[in-house]
Amino acid sequence: MSRRRVLLGAMLLDLAVSPLFAWDVFTASLQRELGAGPTALTTVFSVGLATFMAGVLVGGRIADSVAPRRMAVVAAVGTVAGLLGSAAASSVVVLVLAFGIVLGGTTGLGYATAVRVAGTFKTGRGLALGLVVSAYAIGTAILAPAAAALLDGLGRSWTFVLLAVALGVLLVVAAVLLPAEAATAPTAESGADDRRAPRGPVVALWLAFGLGSAPALSAFAHAGQLAGSTAVAAVAVTLLNVGNFVGRLAAGPASDRVGRRATLHANSALLVVACIPLALSSTGPLALVALFLLGTQYGALSTLTPAALSDVVPRQRFGAVYGRVFTGWGIAGLLAPIAVSAVAAVTGYGVVYAAFIVIAVLAWACVASYGRMASAAVAPPIT
């Protein structure tokens, strides 16, 4: 099966499993129809985030031994079921089950599958991973305005139904394009690689991913306040998302050219630079530039983490190990925005992002530790 076909399948898979982060588009309509408050609807997203992380953790391990095509079919069934359940939901409890648990978990499984496919390419893994994780960001960018337009014309139920049909078709196409056999099956030339994943570099990447993601994940939740005015919140969120896409797309091929460790160090420096204006409570254009840089750093880290991991982890175990490393992101996503909200209410956002500079330096130290330990590890052959 051709490399381009497989890569296209992984990109379509990641694009189609991205509705979780378009949740905010539906909240106003759901508040009117169900009489639910903001806190209750936020619970749906929080549960979805937790199950997405669990889906990546479990899905990565399963994807090491199950064909990507079968994984894509499971993702298709779960995504369609979750969206149809959301269309029929008459209470927040049903939304938690349908959107939060079913959709969140199966889209996490699909995300893990797509990243695993790209992360085990023999050459150009950085580029492949950049394209695949960028497709996830593009999916949310397309789905959010499309869903908003459909909500105005058709209402909540039919919007979810149409999204289920469209994403279901995309996932079926992705399944057809992806390999029908597990990628771990050894060839006569390569054999199996039974070495264990080196613990030190994996732990360092887990810490670097979690600590390095926390400032941007918090910024996504508090963009308006960081920009200095809720009036520019939409611009701030847009710049964060544009930066996220640019970082995801650019970091992979850059790491293929100049090396994974050099690119990770540059990303760590960018995080420190981005946090400084926010720590100084800058507003206006300077704050918006800082948010764009923060989004770029976060997107780049989302690509560089699996790319760096693929350099030190045996191919047969990449999915399982990536799932564990991804929990660093999940913990940061669950805890950092809430902690920032609580602390900023007392001290202000400047103090919070001054603390984030310290966290950024710690993340940079973890990157340095990864570099030292990765140089001592023998990179597994990827065939």
Whether the per-residue pLDDT at 286 is higher than 70: the answer is yes
Question: What's the pTM value of the predicted model, to 2 decimals?
Answer: 0.85
Task: Quote the tokens at residue 245.
Answer: 């896409």
8 A C-beta contact, residue 124 and residue 142: no
Question: Region 356-375: what's the mean pLDDT?
Answer: 93
Long-range contacts of 270-273 (CB under 8 A, 24+ apart): 270/296, 270/297, 270/300, 271/212, 271/215, 271/297, 271/360, 271/363, 271/364, 272/357, 272/360, 272/361, 272/364
DSSP category for residue 122:
S
> What tens digit of pLDDT does each residue of 190-225 get?
444 445 678 899 999 999 999 999 999 988 878 778
* Predicted confidence (pLDDT) at residue 273 exceeds the cutoff of 70: yes
pLDDT digits over 4-17, tens only? 899 999 999 999 99
Q: Rounded distance, CA 368 to CA 73, Å?
A: 40
Please check whether residue 337 is in contact with residue 222, taking contact to mean a CB–CB distance below 8 angstroms: yes
Pure H helices in 89-198: 92-95, 104-119, 125-154, 156-177
The span from the CA of 9 to the CA of 249, in Å, is 17
**pLDDT band, very low/low/confident/very high, at 183 (cuts 50, 70, 90):** low
Give the mean pLDDT of 250-257. 93
Q: CA 231 to CA 373: how far, in whole Å?
A: 47
**Could you tell me the two tokens for 81?**
């079921």
Mean of per-residue pLDDT scores for the chain: 88
Lowest mean pLDDT segment, chosen from 21-35, 260-274, 300-314: 21-35
How far apart, in whole angstroms, are the C-alpha atoms of residue 311 and residue 166?
A: 36
The pLDDT-based confidence of 188 (bands split at 50, 70, 90) is: very low
Percentage, residues of the chain above pLDDT 70:
93
How far apart are the two ends of the chain, measured CA to CA in Å? 14
pLDDT of residue 251: 94
| 32-88 confidence digits (pLDDT tens) | 888 888 778 878 888 898 999 999 999 999 988 999 999 999 999 999 999 999 999
